[in-house]
Amino acid sequence: MMANLVFEGGMARIQHGFAQCHDAIIRRSLVLDALNLRSGERVLEQGCGGGFYTYETARFVGPQGRIAAIDISADQITAARERCREMSWVECQIANANELPYGDGEFDAVFGVQVLEYIQDFEKALREAQRVLRPGGRFLNLATNWTSLLWHSGHPERMRRVLEALATHAPYPDLPVILASALRRAGLQPLCQQGVPIINTSYNENRRSFWIARLTANFARGRGGVSDDEIDEWLAEFPALDAKGEFFFSTTTVLTEAIKVS
Ligand SMILES: C[S@@+](CC[C@H](N)C(=O)[O-])C[C@H]1O[C@@H](n2cnc3c(N)ncnc32)[C@H](O)[C@@H]1O
């Protein structure tokens, strides 16, 4: 059964922990390179979370530009506003990516990182992105193929059940697989999709796996027949493997670029 993951309170803190880790910094750098923002550009960020991308994109466009960052969660917008408090050209507001409070053609670029997969009607969010982009404007999305998570474990059956429970945390756990055709239906022309793999062979708070483990433990506990004890044992296995030099985790995230042709 589908359950909406809400990024407030503890989940927002887990998301901020991930956003500050080494693997997230590398990912952010790839997204920023692909966006290739110029001074003065107007940019909309869908589902800005704690504003880590918002802050960096604002430094590219500068005070002559404009960053509009939206998120459906009040906790996330409070954090994003705080992060960007000294940047008058950044506006962070609570809004739904499916009903953007902006006019047609207002933006040179629209981007979202790990957000569309959480939206039930994500095709509406694509149509909204297309509407607010100017002709020639660019669209960028980064999303994980959540079923690509691979962890070394001495308990493969427990691992399988935990990952099955986690897969229900998003309506579209493998969004990149269906994104290109959805972009075309929304009037955006896909340009390319490239994989951004992450491999962790150590387990600590500077690694993506550490934060995915926390998100998984929070979400999967009590779902799909996964008990509290099983989740605690599942979580305890990783530091034990790490201590023996046997920790392994890999996943693939996909960067998708598109353009509004006219
Ligand atoms: C995994 S977090 C990613 C946050 C940020 N993009 C980052 O990578 O640091 C997903 C975010 O999307 C937001 N979100 C989910 N559904 C949304 C919607 N319909 N409209 C706007 N934001 C939404 C959540 O509140 C959450 O902050």
Residue 3 lies inside a defined structural domain of this protein: no
Percent of the chain with pLDDT over 90: 89
Domain at 51, CATH number = 3.40.50.150
C-alpha separations of 18 from 13, 25, 38, 176 in Å: 9, 9, 27, 21
Number of domains in the chain: 1
Beta-bridged to residue 42, according to DSSP, are: 66
123 is written with which tokens?
Answer: 């095709």
Domain extent for 49: 9-259
CA distance linking residue 262 with residue 256, whole number of Å: 19
Q: Specify the pLDDT at position 33.
A: 97
Beta-bridged to residue 255, according to DSSP, are: 142, 194
Nearest ligand 1 atom to the CA of 6 is 25
pLDDT, one tens digit per residue, over 174-219 is 999 999 999 999 999 999 999 999 999 999 999 999 999 999 999 9
90 is written with which tokens?
Answer: 């950044």
- If you measure from the C-alpha of residue 36 to the centroid of ligand 1, how many angstroms do you get, rounded to a whole number? 22
pLDDT band at 12 (very low <50, low <70, confident <90, very high): confident
35 lines ligand 1 (CB under 6 A): no
Q: Specify the pLDDT at position 1.
A: 41
Best CA proximity match to 152, nearest among 197, 195, 196, 202 = 202
- Residues with Cβ within 8 Å of residue 202, at least 6 apart in sequence: 242, 247
pLDDT, one tens digit per residue, over 14-30 is 888 889 999 999 999 99
- If you measure from the C-alpha of residue 229 to the centroid of ligand 1, how many angstroms do you get, rounded to a whole number? 30
96 lines ligand 1 (CB under 6 A): yes
pLDDT band at 3 (very low <50, low <70, confident <90, very high): low
| pTM score | 0.94
pLDDT, one tens digit per residue, over 74-96 is 999 999 999 999 999 999 999 99
78 lines ligand 1 (CB under 6 A): no
Residue 1 lies inside a defined structural domain of this protein: no
Angle value at C-alpha 135, between 53 and 97, nearest 5 degrees: 45
Residue 162 lies inside a defined structural domain of this protein: yes
Q: Specify the pLDDT at position 4.
A: 66
Ligand 1 pocket test, candidate residues 44, 45, 118, most atoms within 8 A of CB? 118
Residue 202 lies inside a defined structural domain of this protein: yes
- If you measure from the C-alpha of residue 129 to the centroid of ligand 1, how many angstroms do you get, rounded to a whole number? 15
- The mean of the pLDDT values for the chain is 95
C-alpha separations of 212 from 10, 19, 187, 207 in Å: 13, 11, 34, 9
- If you measure from the C-alpha of residue 115 to the centroid of ligand 1, how many angstroms do you get, rounded to a whole number? 5
Residue 66 lies inside a defined structural domain of this protein: yes
Residue 2 lies inside a defined structural domain of this protein: no
Mean pLDDT of 121-136: 98
Residue 65 lies inside a defined structural domain of this protein: yes
Residue 23 lies inside a defined structural domain of this protein: yes
